[in-house]
Structure 1
């Protein structure tokens, strides 16, 4: 059973919005053999320029589905989110079911349904590594890592933190600011 945690930022979550979200995301049930026990986290945000952002996270036992969408129309954003989540499910369906079979579990996580040939081909695609790079991580601080990343014109940069000796990653966010991922 899916429970819904719907939060609004700069918007009141009306019964109509709640019903629309539950109806649309509830359609994802058809991709599973059993309705997953999960809490669907939905964040709705309205910006001063009237654009909206919809974020959906569905953490399950062996899988986390997550998508976000910005759109002028919140209802259109919710529709696009469901499309993104469906693509994620179709993409991972074969791989996840194969993993369950290898573990020796009798049931499959995702339901099998008649699909178009295009979807079947998409499901069978393997993740292919087309290039491998090796390099030494230079000790530095996050500011120097950001400078290096910008000099290289990359969207992320991996480095060894000079203080903690841990491997960290700096990255450029969609809003133009920077993020830091620290490892343990």
Structure 2
């Protein structure tokens, strides 16, 4: 597993690197044979340390977890405990995922768009009224059941996920609502012969 440990304006010493490497190897090795890569990022805001862990397993599976604490080791331990809880909760589903039907992937592009400030001059950052694109990434839209999409949403701690519904072939979105519940958007298909 390729492991990247970094700090945002924090010096990550050898002792912390060793702690992270050993703990992450033990945690991931317990639930999955060969993850592709992992990234651990430390940052500090006032008196709190923040840790972000991302482990990529391939096949579209990514586990994200965050933790914070007054000590840097404590913030990492909170984040790794959350990652372990997610992996433990979905261990059976992770194993069954690889024995299921073949996956269908569609290429797609995702964009990061600059927000438009109210006091911003239109000619400065936006061309012809269109927002400024900061980044463009290639991604894939998978064909999944709704329960698999919710599983991926929970496992990756993402705010939203687009997928092609295996039941009807339509593009659907699942997302995390502010109240903690999961929302599901499934567009209505127009009736035949009706102009839309």
TM-score, length basis structure 2: 0.48
CA–CA distance in structure 2, aligned partners of residues 68 and 74 of structure 1: 12
CA–CA distance in structure 1, aligned partners of residues 31 and 10 of structure 2: 31
Q: Equivalent residues in 2 for 1:9-88 (5 A)?
A: 9-28=8-27, 29-32=29-32, 34-36=33-35, 38-47=36-45, 49-62=46-59, 63-88=61-86
More helix by share: 1
Structure 1 98/35 Cα, relative in aligned 2: closer, same or farther at 3 Å?
closer
Cα RMSD, aligned residues only:
2.7
| Structure 2 residue matching 1:46: 3-state secondary structure | strand
Tell me by how many angstroms 1:96 deviates: 2.3
Q: Deviations over 1:35-75 (max 9, x none)?
A: 32x2211110012x221000011112121011011111110
| Structure 1 residue matching 2:47: 3-state secondary structure | coil
Q: Deviations over 1:124-169 (max 9, x none)?
A: xxx6xxxxxxxxxxxxxxxxxxxxxxxxxxxx9xxxxxxxxxx9x9
Tell me by how many angstroms 1:80 deviates: 1.3
Unaligned runs of 5+ in 1: 105-126, 128-155, 157-166, 173-184
More strand by share: 2
Residue in 2 that maps onto 1:118: none
CA–CA distance in structure 2, aligned partners of residues 66 and 30 of structure 1: 17
Residue in 2 that maps onto 1:177: none
TM-score, length basis structure 1: 0.51
Q: Deviations over 1:89-129 (max 9, x none)?
A: 1121112222222238xxxxxxxxxxxxxxxxxxxxxx6xx
Paired residues in the alignment total 107
